[in-house]
Amino acid sequence: MNRRTFLRKPAAPVATLFERPAASGDQPPGKGETVSKFANKDLPATPRSLAGLAPYTGPWGPVQAAHLLRRATFGPTRAEINTAASQSLTQVLDRLFTVPATPDPPVQGFPGDPLLPVGAPFVTGDYEGGWSARSSVRAWWLGLMLKDTTIVEKMTLFWHNHFVITFDLDGGTFDSRFAYRYCALLREQALGNFKQLAKDMTVEPGMLKYLNGSANTVDAPNENYGRELLELFTIGKGRTIGPGNYTTYTEADVQAAARVLTGWQHSEENINGFFTDSLHEPGVKRFSSAFGNRTIANQGDQEYKALIDLIFDRTETAAFIVRKLYRWFVYYVIDATTEANVIQPLAAQLRQNGYNVGPVVRTLLASEHFFDAINIGCMIKSPIDFVVGAVRQMSVTFPPESNTVELYTAWSMLVDGAEKMQQFIGNAPNVAGWPAYWQTPQYYEMWINAMTLPLRNQFTDRIINEYGYDTNFPATVKLRIETIDWVQSLPPATAADCNLLIAEFVRHLLPFPLTANQMTFLNDTLLPGLPDFEWTVEWQAFLADPDNMTKRSAVDSKLRAVVRQIMGLAEFHLS
Amino acid sequence: MQRRHFLQTTAAATVLPTLLGGLPISTYGFSPEFLELTGSATQTDRVLVLIQLIGGNDGLNTIIPLDQYTNLLRARPNVAIAQNRVLPLRAATGIHPAMAKVKNLFDNGQIGIVQNVGYPDATGSHFDSTDIWTSATDSNVLNSSGWGGRYLNNEYPGFPIGYPNAQAPHPLAITIGSVVSNVVQGPAVNMGMAINSTSSFLQLLTGGVDTAPNTPAGHELTFIRQVVRQTEVYVTAIQQAAARAQNLSPLYPTAGENPLADQLKIVAQLVAGGLQTRVYVCSLGGFDTHGAQVDGGDGNTTGEHAKLLGYLSGALDAFQDDLRRLRVQDRVVGMTFSEFGRRILSNSANGTDHGEAGPMIVFGTSVNPIIHGPNPTIPDEPTFFENLPMQIDFRAIYASILKDWFQVPQTLINTLLPSRVGQFPYVPVIRQGTVTGSTPAAELEVAEFSVFPNPAQDRATCTFECQGGHVQVVLRDVVGREVRRVVDRAMPRGQCQVPVDVSGLKAGLYYCHVREGQRVSARSLSVL
C-alpha cells in the first residue's frame, strides 16, 4: 500500500468555495495584499478601561449577556442570549465553565478511499487515512464549535493557537491520528491545568513530530522544541539584554532544555510518544541565572516534567499566558493600567492555584474590566468566529447526524470558508500561531485586508442569499439562513412591527447600536419608500396564507435584504 | 434546464460594501465559474433612467381624464382635483397642476404618457406587485431576476467574473437608493451597484469614511470601513466620471429639498462625465396615500400627493435642462413606474386605496411625445372594489424600449420577457427617427408641427415647417396600424398646411405622423 498517494489533496477540493477567477481585466484594488495599508502603524491610543478584576455587579441584561457569550462562545443564538439574560451572571458562568462530556471521536466523513470508507473510525487504527481523514478531523472539530454552548471550544481553539502543530502543512504531522490525539488533549485540558498541558504536550506524538523532538538525541541534539517551549509556549521571550540573553531565558537554557528532552520520539505504530533511554543525554543540565542557576539531574523519562516545573516556577510564565488570554478574550492593547489592574493579579491567581486556567479565565470574564462598555465590540472576529458565528447567530440548520457525508461536507464548507479568510484550522501559518494574536502593532487588524474582506462579505452573502451557500461535492449540501423561521421565532408583535423587527436584528447581530441614519437606511431596505404599517400588512398577509409561495417570497426577499445589509456592515466584523 | 440549474446552484449576489454613512453601498456579484461568452456587448451610448414611484401612484389624480370628469368627481369628491385647476394636455386629458413643468416638457416634445398600464391578475400587495413590475414576469410566476438584469446578463455574460475590464470598465447599472434595485437583478447575481444617498455620493467622491467614537471599538470600526472603501469596485471610475462633469442647470432645487432631483442630478453628472453605465434606477417614495392624499386646500391641489408630484415634475424639468446644457440629452430616455395605481373611489380619509392600472410617464428628447392610449373609463356607479383595468401591459413598454432604445432583437426580447400571453404588442414610446439614427433627436423633430382642431370631426389640418423633400403624412391608430396615408410626395421648403380627412374613421385616438427625411414626429389626434 502506497500511503503517499493519500497524502495528496484531492483534485477537486472538498468544498469548492470561492474559487478565484482567472485574472482578466482590471484587478480589484489591494490584490495580493496580506496586511492592510490601513492597519495600525502604532498601537492605538484610544482610552482603556480603568476597571480591574472586581466582580461585575452592574446592570445585567441582553447586552451584557450577549457580550459575554460572543467572547466565550461562537456567535450565540437568540435563545442562548435570552436564557443567559434571564439568569444571573454567576449562573451563566457556572454553565459556561461546566465541561461537557468528551465528544465521540471523528469518523471518516468523505467518500473515495476504499481503505477507509465513510463512517469508519480511524483515530486508533493502523491506517492514517490521508487528506480525507485529516479533513474529517477538521470538519469534526468545526462541528464541535457549532454545537458547544460552553467556553470549552473557544479555549480549545486558544490552546491550538498556543501549542501549535500543523496537520498537513510542509513540516506538519501528516497523521490524522496524531491530529486527533492532539485535539483531544487540548480539549481535555481546555479549562484544566496549564502546567500539566505543557508536560503532556511535550511528549505528544504530533508535537514530537512537528517540532522535531523525535530527532533530538544525545548524539544529535535538536533544539527546535526546546526553543519554542521557552519562547512561545511557556515563559516567552523577554527583552534582549545581552548576547543570547532574552531576560527570561538564554541560548544556553535552550540548549539545556533540548538536552533534557532527548530520547523522546513519536510512534506511528502505537500512535504515541515514547522514550528510549539510550537516546537520552544523561548528564546534568545547568540553567542560567534566569532560572536561578538551577540544575536538572538525569531522571530518564520523568526528566521533562522537572523541566516544565522549573519553567513554571518563574512568575513570568504565568504573566505570559495571562496576556495571551487577555488578547484572546478582551483586546490586544495592554497598557500599564491594564497590566497592573488585570494582568498581574490574574497571573498571581494562576500561580497561587497551581496553574489551573479555568478559574483565572472565569475571574476575567466575571470582572468589571470585562464588562466595561469600552471593551464591548472592539474585537475583530477571527475567520472561524466569523463563519461559525454567522451560522450560529442565525440558527442555520445542518444535515442530520445520520448522514455522515452531508454533515462532514457541511462542516468542511465552514472550514474552507475560514481557510480562504486566512484561518485554516489545524494549519496555523507557523509555530507562533495566527499573527492576529501576536503581530504588533496590527494584531486583530491582520485578519482584514483587501483580499479577505470581500471573502468575508461573500460568505455572508451566500448564506443569506435565497439560493444559499451550496456545494455538490462530495455531497449536495446547502447552508442557508431561514429568515422567515428566524423572524417567526420572535414574539409576534415584534415580527409584525418593522422597527421593532429591525432593532431585534441589529441587537442580535451587532455588538453595539447603530446610528439613527443607519437605522433609517435599514428601514428603507425592508420597506423602500413605503410607510411602516405596510410591513405589518404584508407580514400578516403571509401569516394568513403561509403556503402561498408568492406571499412567502415577498416577505422573505425583503428580510434577506435587511439581513444582508446588516451582515455587510463593518460593525458585523466586530465582536 | 441544465443552465437553469447551474444558475441556481451557483448564485451568490455578493456585497462588496461601500462605506457610506457606515452603510454598504455597492453590491457586486460573484459566481464561481465562467459562463461561456456568447459575444461582445452591443455598442451603445444610450442610457435608460427608471424612476420608481414607490407606494402606488394615484394615476387618476396625476393624468386626469377630463372627458370623464363628472364620473370622476362623483367617485372621489373629496380627492378629485377641481376641474378648473386641471392643466390641459389635450382636450380630453389633463395633468395635476403640481406638474406644470411636466406639461411644459410635454408641450416641448419631451414627455410621452402611456395610459392604463398594468398587468393581468393584479395583486394588491406592494411587495408582490413591485416584484412583478421589476421582474416583468406573469403575476403567477416566481422569478427573482429583474428584466433589466436579464438584459444586462445577456449583454455581459459571466458578470461579475472578470469585471471590470477594458471593454466594460464601468458599472452596468446604478441604483440611487438603499438597495440595488431588483430591476437589475440578473439570473444569478445583481448586475448593479447602489449609491445609497446623495450625501453618501459626496463621501464616495472624497473617499472619506464616517467618523466613529474614540474608543477601541470605534478604532477598529474605522479601520474596517477604510478597507471596505478600498475594496469597492468601480469607485475610481465613478470618481473620474464625476470629476469630468459638473451639473449645469440652475433649476435644481437646493440639496435636500427634492429627493428625486438630488438623485437625477447625480445621474446627469455621471452620464455627462462619460460613465458607460446603461441603466440607472432612481426612486421616490411616499405614494402609498391611503390617507391625507389631499389636504382639502385649493380645489384638492395641495397635500401629500401634490408635493410628491411636484418633486417629480421639478426633478424631471431640472434633469432635462441639465442634460441639454451638458449636451447629452439625446442619449438619455427615462420612464416612471409604480407598483399599482389606486382605487377609483376615494376613501373617507381623503386618500385612496390600492388599485390596478395607472399611467407611465416617459421622458427625454427621444421619446414619442404623445399620449398613448385612451383615457381610462370611469364607470357611472363604481363600487368600492372596482379598479381601472389595464389596457397596456407594462411589459409591452419594456419590450418596446428594449427594441427601440437598445436594439434588442425581437426573438431575444421574447426570451427576456417570457409570458403566457406571448409576444407583447409594440408601443412606439421612442420617437421613430431616433430608433436607429445617430442624428441628435433635437434635429429629428419636424419643426412647428401641430394638428388642429383637436378633437376633430371629418377634417383636421396638419401644419409644419417643411425642410424641402419627400414627405409622408400618415394617420395611425393607437396600436400603430396605418389607417390613412395623407401625403406621400415631395414638397417644397416652407410652411405646409395639409388637410387631413378623418371622415369615416371610428371615433377614438389616432396619431398623425409626419416623416421628412430623417425627421419624424407624431401628434395625437382625437376623432369624434
d(CA B25, CA B181): 12
> On the CB side of A544, how many CA atoms lie within 13 Å of its CA?
6
Beta bridge partners of B498: B462
How many other CB atoms are there within 10 angstroms of residue A166's CB atom? 20
A61-70, A162-171, A216-225, B17-26: segment of lowest average pLDDT: B17-26
Our CA dihedral for B373, B379, B385, B387, rounded to 10 degrees, sits at 0
Please enumerate in sequence order all residues whose Cβ is within 8 A of that of B30, keeping only pairs 6 or more positions apart, or say none.
Answer: A18, A458, A461, B12, B13, B14, B160, B161, B189
Contact between chains at B23 and A448 (C-beta distance less than 8 A): no
Question: B515 or B305: whose pLDDT is higher?
Answer: B305
At which residue does the C-alpha cell 416584484 appear?
B131
Identify the CA nearest to B367 among candidates B217, B522, B187: B522
Contact between chains at A25 and B221 (C-beta distance less than 8 A): no
- For residue B41, the chain A residues in CB contact (below 8 A) are none
pLDDT of A100 strictly over 60: yes
pLDDT of B20 strictly over 70: no
Question: B83 or A3: whose pLDDT is higher?
Answer: B83
Contact between chains at B142 and A571 (C-beta distance less than 8 A): no
B447: confidence class by pLDDT, cuts 50, 70, 90:
confident
d(CA A552, CA A557): 9
B329: confidence class by pLDDT, cuts 50, 70, 90:
very high
B435: confidence class by pLDDT, cuts 50, 70, 90:
low
pLDDT score at B6: 26
- CB-closest option in A48, A450, A514 to B227: A450
B442: confidence class by pLDDT, cuts 50, 70, 90:
low
- For residue B166, the chain A residues in CB contact (below 8 A) are 25-26
Query: pLDDT of B117-136, one tens digit each?
Result: 999 888 888 988 888 899 89
Query: pLDDT of A502-540, one tens digit each?
Result: 999 999 999 999 998 889 889 988 998 899 999 999 999
pLDDT score at B479: 55
| B34 part of contact set with chain A, CB < 8 Å | yes
Identify the CA nearest to B432 among candidates B517, B360, B368: B368
pLDDT of A479 strictly over 60: yes
Please enumerate in sequence order all residues whose Cβ is within 8 A of that of B249, keeping only pairs 6 or more positions apart, or say none.
Answer: B268, B318, B319, B321, B322, B325
Interface confidence, given as ipTM, is 0.93
At which residue does the C-alpha cell 496553574 appear?
A355
Q: Can you give the three-state secondary structure of B131-168, one letter per residue?
A: HHHHHCCCCCCCCCCCHHHHHHHHHCCCCCCCCCCCCC
pLDDT score at A393: 98
pLDDT score at B444: 62
A297: confidence class by pLDDT, cuts 50, 70, 90:
very high
| B2 part of contact set with chain A, CB < 8 Å | no
- CB-closest option in A30, A40, A530 to B285: A530
Identify the CA nearest to A44 among candidates A333, A347, A426: A333
Question: A32 or B353: whose pLDDT is higher?
Answer: B353
A126-135, A491-500, B206-215, B486-495: segment of lowest average pLDDT: B206-215
Cell numbers at residue A4, please? Answer: 503517499
Question: B1 or A260: whose pLDDT is higher?
Answer: A260
Contact between chains at A528 and B217 (C-beta distance less than 8 A): no
The crossing angle, in degrees rounded to 10, of helices A383-393 and A404-420 is 130
A31: confidence class by pLDDT, cuts 50, 70, 90:
low
- For residue B126, the chain A residues in CB contact (below 8 A) are 530, 534, 537-538
What's the whole-number mean pLDDT along residues B109-116? 94
N-to-C CA span, chain A: 48
Question: B205 or B115: whose pLDDT is higher?
Answer: B115
Question: B298 or B523: whose pLDDT is higher?
Answer: B298
Give the residue extent of every domain in chain B: 2-29+54-436, 446-527
Q: Name the residue of chain B whose CA is nearest to A17's CA.
A: B32
Relative to beta strand B279-284, strand B192-195 is: unpaired
The answer to whether B274 touches B241, Cβ cutoff 8 Å, is yes
Question: A199 or B519: whose pLDDT is higher?
Answer: A199
pLDDT score at A458: 87
pLDDT of A497 strictly over 80: yes
d(CA B105, CA A501): 44
Which H helix or E strand runs over A522? helix A516-526
Identify the CA nearest to A531 among candidates B56, B133, B175: B56
Backbone angles phi, psi at B477, to 5 degrees: -85, -175
Contact between chains at A458 and B21 (C-beta distance less than 8 A): no
A17: confidence class by pLDDT, cuts 50, 70, 90:
very low
The answer to whether A409 touches A471, Cβ cutoff 8 Å, is yes
- CB-closest option in B13, B21, B54 to A521: B21
- CB-closest option in A25, A28, A444 to B231: A28
pLDDT score at B364: 96
- For residue B9, the chain A residues in CB contact (below 8 A) are 467, 470, 472
pLDDT score at B510: 84
Give the residue extent of every domain in chain A: 58-94, 483-573
For testing contact with chain B, the best of A461, A473, A566 (most B CBs within 10 A): A461
Cell numbers at residue A379, please? Answer: 474585537
Contact between chains at A462 and B286 (C-beta distance less than 8 A): no
Query: pLDDT of B149-159, one tens digit each?
Result: 889 988 888 78
Burial level of A138, CB count in 10 A (0-12/13-18/19+)?
buried
What's the whole-number mean pLDDT along residues B222-250? 88
Cell numbers at residue B61, please? Answer: 389624480
B 181-210 residues with CB < 8 A to A: 182, 196
Contact between chains at B231 and A450 (C-beta distance less than 8 A): yes
pLDDT score at B145: 85
Burial B207-216 (b: 16+ CB within 10 A, else e): eebbebeebb
Contact between chains at B21 and A557 (C-beta distance less than 8 A): no
Burial A220-239 (b: 16+ CB within 10 A, else e): ebbbbbbbbbbbbbbbbeee
B257-261, B508-512, B520-524: segment of lowest average pLDDT: B520-524
Beta bridge partners of A286: A295
- For residue A538, the chain B residues in CB contact (below 8 A) are 125-127
Q: Can you give the three-state secondary structure of B353-422, one letter per residue?
A: EECCCEEEEEECCCECCCEECCCCCCCCCCCCCCCCCCCEEHHHHHHHHHHHHCCCCHHHHHHHCCCCCC
What's the whole-number mean pLDDT along residues B172-186? 81
Contact between chains at B221 and A574 (C-beta distance less than 8 A): yes
pLDDT of B322 strictly over 50: yes
CB pairs under 8 A between A and B: 209
pLDDT of B218 strictly over 80: yes
pLDDT of B12 strictly over 80: no
Please enumerate in sequence order all residues whose Cβ is within 8 A of that of A468, keeping only pairs 6 or more positions apart, or say none.
Answer: A462, A478, A479, A480
pLDDT score at A15: 33
| B19 part of contact set with chain A, CB < 8 Å | yes
Q: Name the residue of chain A whose CA is nearest to B285's CA.
A: A529
CATH for B446-527, options being 2.60.40.3080, 3.90.1150.10, 3.40.190.10, 3.30.70.141? 2.60.40.3080
Contact between chains at B24 and A568 (C-beta distance less than 8 A): yes
The crossing angle, in degrees rounded to 10, of helices A130-147 and A152-162 is 140
Q: What secondary structure letter does DSSP report for A481?
A: -
At which residue does the C-alpha cell 464561481 appear?
B32
The crossing angle, in degrees rounded to 10, of helices B304-325 and B100-107 is 40
The answer to whether A354 touches A198, Cβ cutoff 8 Å, is no
Relative to beta strand B482-491, strand B392-393 is: unpaired
What's the whole-number mean pLDDT along residues B170-198? 79
pLDDT of A9 strictly over 60: no
Burial level of A1, CB count in 10 A (0-12/13-18/19+)?
exposed
C-alpha of A54 from chain center = 27
Average pLDDT, chain B: 83
Contact between chains at A538 and B163 (C-beta distance less than 8 A): no
Contact between chains at B126 and A514 (C-beta distance less than 8 A): no
Burial level of A491, CB count in 10 A (0-12/13-18/19+)?
exposed
d(CA A461, CA B370): 45
B 137-176 residues with CB < 8 A to A: 140, 142, 144, 161-166, 169
d(CA B396, CA A49): 65
A555: alpha, beta or left? (left if phi > 0; alpha if psi -120 to 50): alpha
What's the whole-number mean pLDDT along residues A244-261? 97
- For residue B17, the chain A residues in CB contact (below 8 A) are 457, 568-570
pTM of the model: 0.80
Backbone angles phi, psi at A336, to 5 degrees: -60, -35
For testing contact with chain A, the best of B231, B305, B340 (most A CBs within 10 A): B231
Report which residue type is found at A276.
T
Cell numbers at residue A293, please? Answer: 542557576
Query: pLDDT of A552-571, one tens digit each?
Result: 988 998 999 999 989 989 99
d(CA B30, CA A344): 49
The answer to whether B301 touches B85, Cβ cutoff 8 Å, is yes
pLDDT of A202 strictly over 50: yes
- CB-closest option in A514, A530, A551 to B55: A530
Identify the CA nearest to B448 among candidates B519, B500, B511, B363: B519
pLDDT of A285 strictly over 90: yes
Q: Across B30-39, B58-67, B231-240, B367-376, which has the greatest mean pLDDT?
A: B58-67
d(CA B416, CA B186): 11
Instruction: Calculate ∠ Cα B499-B501-B504, nearest 5°.
Output: 170
d(CA B488, CA B474): 8
pLDDT of A18 strictly over 50: no
pLDDT score at A329: 98
